[in-house]
Amino acid sequence: MIVAMAGKGGTGKTTVAGLLIKFFLKNDIKPVLAVDADANANLNEVLGLEVETTLGEAREGLKDGVPPGMTRDVYMEYKVAESLIEAEGYDLIVMGRPEGPGCYCHANTLLSRFMEILCENYRIIVMDNEAGMEHISRLVARRADILLIVSDPTQRGIIAAKRIRDLARELKLGIKNDYVIINRVNGELPAAIKAAVKAAGLNLAGCVPEDELIAQYDTEGRPTIELPDNARSVVALNQIFEAIVRIDD
C-alpha cells in the first residue's frame, strides 16, 4: 500500500505523515518505508533520524560520472542502498533537493527502477510530498492507494487542497482514494469551511484539534513520533486512520 501525503506549506502534513507511521507501527503493520519527497525535507526530524545522504546527491553523481569500474546501474543501486536509513520497524529514504541545470532523464529512469525494486520489500509506503505530485509520477511508477491532503481550517487552505486533488487526477496517477484532513482546528469546524469543503467536492476524512504538545515537542527538539498515545492529535488521527486505511493480509 502506498499512502501519499500532500498539502501546502505550514499545514502540518509532515507531522501527520510521522503520526501515520506511528499508527502503522503500533498496529504491527510493517515494514514501512517512509519516503521524504519534499524539497524542504524534514520528515527525519519528525521521526528522530539523522540523514547523511540523499537520492538527490545520487542523481548529481550519476550526471557527473560514476567511479571507475562501476556501471551506472551498479552505482545507482549502491547509492539507493546507501541512502536508506534503517529504524525499528521502518526505514526512511530522502529524495533531496530538486535537480540543478542539465539533463537528469537517465538518472531519474534508473532511480525510478531501483525505487520500484526497493518498494517491493515493504508492506507500507508513506510518501511525504510537497504540493506537487511530480515525485509520485516520476520516481515511484506505481499506483498510490491513498492520497492524504492536509489543510488548515481556512478558505485558502481548502482551495489549495482542491488544487492538489485536481492536479493528482490530472496527472492520472491512478489514486484509488483521496481524502482531506483539516489540521489545527480549534473547537468545531466553522460552517463556512464545511461549506467550502462540500463545494470543492473534497472527501473530508476528519479534523485534528490544535495540540499544544506538538508545539512543545518542536520547541524542545523532540521527535513528534514520540508523542504519547493519549495526545489530542494522536487520538484524533488514529480514529481517522482506522476509518480510511484498509490493510489486506
Q: Tell me the pLDDT tens digit for each residue of 86-119.
A: 999 999 998 876 555 555 455 556 666 777 788 8
71-87 confidence digits (pLDDT tens) = 888 887 888 888 899 99
CA angle centred on 29, ends 167 and 217, rounded to 5°: 75
Query: Which H or E run contains 219?
Result: helix 212-220
Q: Estimate to the nearest angstrom the gap between the alpha carbon of 36 and the chain centroid.
A: 6
Domains (range + CATH), the chain: 2-244 (3.40.50.300)
Q: Measure Cα distances from 233 to 113, 208, 239 in Å.
A: 37, 6, 10
**Is 7 within 8 Å of 149 (Cβ atoms)?**
yes
Q: How many Cβ atoms are within 10 Å of 231's Cβ, its own excluded?
A: 18
**φ, ψ for residue 209 (rounded to 5)?**
-70, 155
Which range, of 48-57, 161-170, 240-249, averages the lowest pLDDT? 240-249
What pLDDT, on a 0 to 100 scale, did the predictor assign at position 215?
A: 93
Strand partners, 92: 34, 85
Could you give the CA distance from residue 14 to residue 193 in angstroms, rounded to a whole number? 22
Residue for cell digits 524534514?
A: 42
- At residue 69 the predicted structure's pLDDT band, cuts being 50, 70 and 90, is confident
Mean residue pLDDT of the chain comes to 86
**Close Cβ partners of 130 (under 8 Å, ≥ 6 residues apart):** 6, 9, 37, 38, 39, 40
3-class DSSP assignment, residue 144: coil
Instruction: Return the percentage of the chain with pLDDT > 90, whole number.
Output: 55
Angstrom distance (rounded) from CA 5 to CA 133: 9
Q: Give 60 or 52, the one with higher predicted confidence.
A: 52
CB contact at 8 A, 150 and 11: yes
pLDDT for res 16 = 97
Range of weakest confidence among 3-7, 21-25, 115-119, 230-234: 115-119
Q: Would strands 85-86 and 90-94 be described as parallel, antiparallel, or unpaired?
A: antiparallel
pLDDT tens track for 228-242:
999 999 999 999 999
